[in-house]
Amino acid sequence: MQVIENLKVKEKVYIETLENGLTVLIIPKKETEKKFIIWGTNFGSIDSKFIAPGENEITTVPDGVAHFLEHKLFEQKNGTNSLDTLTAIGVDANAYTTTDHTAYLYECNDKFYEALDEFMDYVQNPYFTKENVEKEKGIIGQEIRMYDDHPGWQVYINAMQCLYQNNPVRIDIAGSIESISNIDKDILYKSYNTFYHPSNMCLVVCGNFEAEAILEEIKKRLLPKEIIGEIQRIYPEEPEKVANKECKKQMEVSTPIFVIGIKDKVSKENMVKKHIAIEVLLNMIIGKSSKLYQTLYKQGLLLEEPDMQYEWSKEYAHITISAQSKDPKKVYQGIADTIQEYKKHGLELEHFDRIKRKIYGDYVKEFDDVADIARMFLADWMKGVNSFSYLEQYNAVTKSYAEEILKEVFLEDKTILSVVEPNSSSKEEK
């Protein structure tokens, strides 16, 4: 078993790749009673076109299949639902789908191994019928309609559709009412058998465990599977240019909400280093201690610090800055002006160092909670990254490197604005 230790946070991760290809990551936390497990497959909403191992033909599945499969996996042949079974045991269980992976998880203090039986059983034993698939379409259809009426989700998905012309990150993770209508049990089984092979999965446990002992417990519950070939994923070519510079939608909100997006290119190397630099830059530009934020706050144009993210996978990369404002255009312009000012005069060293220390503190805090640790290691594994890399690359991010990234990534022609503003009825009520 490979052991990687980070002395800065005094944590170790034990890594084992089993004979069937499954990667197991174990992060012991002796000082806590809480135990957390998450089992993820490298199959997300963008993976709708692929060549399965051993085949030559391209398979195209409807949008929303990864999310649909996540919902269906809980249903068992004996009529029970594994989510209900785990909840009844007293553990906090859940699942989620992202653009690049699907994950199943639970958290508990007691009954971990009793829950492990059910957990590893349902993930490895899909049960789809014509009837239960049709029933699920109604449930997921309601969820899609709910998100259609959710301003926060609409302003985000509209931002993705402004940023991207072809990349499937622009499509809703759940798909559409029309796309899920084309899902049947054969599509689900084909997707499951292709993407839920252990060699395409990673299981992470964090808590008061002995690494060798928990690994043996996991092995005991694994079904025998032979190694298969690689999945060939097919993604459309994505132009560098954004699809649209601006999008506006009217919904029932009291104050406009916005997302400013900046499209980036995925580099084969140094994505972690770049990610750290971008987080520092975002905090310097519009974080709570920035001059711009203080100005906008005093003017009543921002009432709280915006949410700032750098989202990336192997197929896309972009920045999002989101918040509420009565005048999103002024916020957009303020950010654009500040970026130009920094490009012209450079970053102020004392401010850069202060923000960099804050970012480092945020990274260290992520190692406080077993759930945060496990989710982080899984999400980073899906990108081909070890989570310790963020702590190890921290010192490599210098002021001059951040200034290079500012000039390379923060480009006006790659920046978009998505706004959801009050509709006429909302304005009248005000």
Collapsing DSSP states into helix, strand and coil, what is residue 55? coil
Nearest to 369, CA basis, from 15, 102, 36: 36
Q: CA-to-CA distance for 47 and 353, rounded, in angstroms?
A: 40
Paired tokens of 332: 């957009």
| 70 counts as catalytic | yes
H or E element: which one contains 68?
Answer: helix 65-72
Collapsing DSSP states into helix, strand and coil, what is residue 6? strand
Q: Give, as one character, the DSSP assignment of residue 75.
A: B
Q: CA-to-CA distance for 7 and 108, rounded, in angstroms?
A: 27
Radius of gyration of the chain (CA): 23
Question: Nearest-5° angle of CA 206, CA 26, CA 118?
Answer: 65
Collapsing DSSP states into helix, strand and coil, what is residue 178? helix
Q: CA-to-CA distance for 176 and 131, rounded, in angstroms?
A: 20
Paired tokens of 195: 């993407």
Q: Give, as one character, the DSSP assignment of residue 280.
A: H
Contact 416, 245 (CB under 8 A): yes
Question: Nearest-5° angle of CA 75, CA 130, CA 103?
Answer: 35
Q: Give, as one character, the DSSP assignment of residue 199.
A: G
H or E element: which one contains 355?
Answer: helix 349-365
Q: Where does residue 237 rank: exposed (0-12), middle (13-18), buried (19+ CB within 10 A)?
A: exposed
Q: CA-to-CA distance for 120 and 13, rounded, in angstroms?
A: 22
Torsion of CA 171, 38, 274, 338, to 10 degrees: 60
Collapsing DSSP states into helix, strand and coil, what is residue 5? strand
Q: CA-to-CA distance for 284 and 275, rounded, in angstroms?
A: 14
Q: What is the largest CA-CA distance in the chain?
A: 68
Question: Which is catalytic among the residues 16, 33, 55, 70?
Answer: 70
Residue 380 one-letter amino acid: D
Paired tokens of 206: 């964090």
Instruction: Give the residue numbers annotated as catalytic, written as ranges.
Output: 70
